[in-house]
Amino acid sequence: MTTEKTKYPPIRRKAGERDKLLRPGWKYIEPCNMDHYTPEDWAVMNQQRVVYQAEERAKQALEILLASRDAPTFGYQINNYEHCLQTATMLHRDGHNEETIVVGLFHDVGFIVCPEKHGPFAADLIRPFISEKNLWMLERHEIFQRIHLHGFYQPEDPDFINAREQWRGHKYFDWTAEFIERYDIVAINPNIESLPIEFFEPMVRRVFSASPSPV
């Protein structure tokens, strides 16, 4: 029998309790409706926001990836978290730079929660910190992968045929095709040992510490 006590899960935060601020001496913005914020409130908020994002952005991006560490799979021999680690590991072992390794680490971070648009999902997550080359690849890597998924798509479908070929000749076409063939479609192998997430954390922090490009 469901009672009022068992109907809902335990309360995480009691009414009136505030979550802690990142830094001592920071201020809470008092109105509980953003429509009531003043220019002075926004000035305080934005000053604190710059420091907060510099310290927390990489950490929270990694936490998004870490959330799937123990997730089951629906058929692949390793889960999506391990796939991302394996991709980054192979890029590292082939001598790619830190930015590209971090791109590999996050390239499928949205594969489960946003499968239809997981390329742009990953691209938007790290867009301010990566090169045009890697951004272009991330946004289109799912489309470039399709020609390798024999039996998943219908080859006679004009949209399937043209989806990738429309970009042939583009300066980043070859890199996107290489990423797919050498690092993406093969990073599903339980016999390959991946480096731990701790190995990549300093790289992620360095990439995310670069001055964000205009978006």
| pLDDT confidence of residue 215 | 37
From 149, 142, 186, select the one nearest 164 (Cα to Cα): 142
Q: Please give the Cα distance from 207 to 54 (Å, whole number).
A: 11
Task: Read off the pLDDT of residues 147-161 as tens digits, 9 standing for 90 and up.
Answer: 887 777 776 676 666
- Both tokens of 94, joined, read 């082939």
In a domain, 83, yes or no: yes
Identify the CATH number of the domain in which residue 161 sits: 1.10.3210.10
Task: Read off the pLDDT of residues 36-94 as tens digits, 9 standing for 90 and up.
Answer: 999 999 999 999 999 999 999 999 999 999 999 999 999 999 999 999 999 999 999 99
In a domain, 168, yes or no: yes
How many domains in the chain? 1
CB 34 within 8 A of CB 27: no
In a domain, 56, yes or no: no
| pLDDT confidence of residue 146 | 85
CB 150 within 8 A of CB 185: no
CA 114 to chain centre: 11
In a domain, 29, yes or no: no
**pTM, whole model, 2 decimals?**
0.88
Name the average pLDDT for the chain: 91
Structural domain boundaries enclosing 172: 64-209
From 157, 132, 134, 130, select the one nearest 146 (Cα to Cα): 157
In a domain, 58, yes or no: no
CB neighbour class for 70 (10 Å; exposed up to 12, middle 13-18, buried from 19): exposed
In a domain, 117, yes or no: yes
From 16, 80, 21, select the one nearest 48 (Cα to Cα): 21
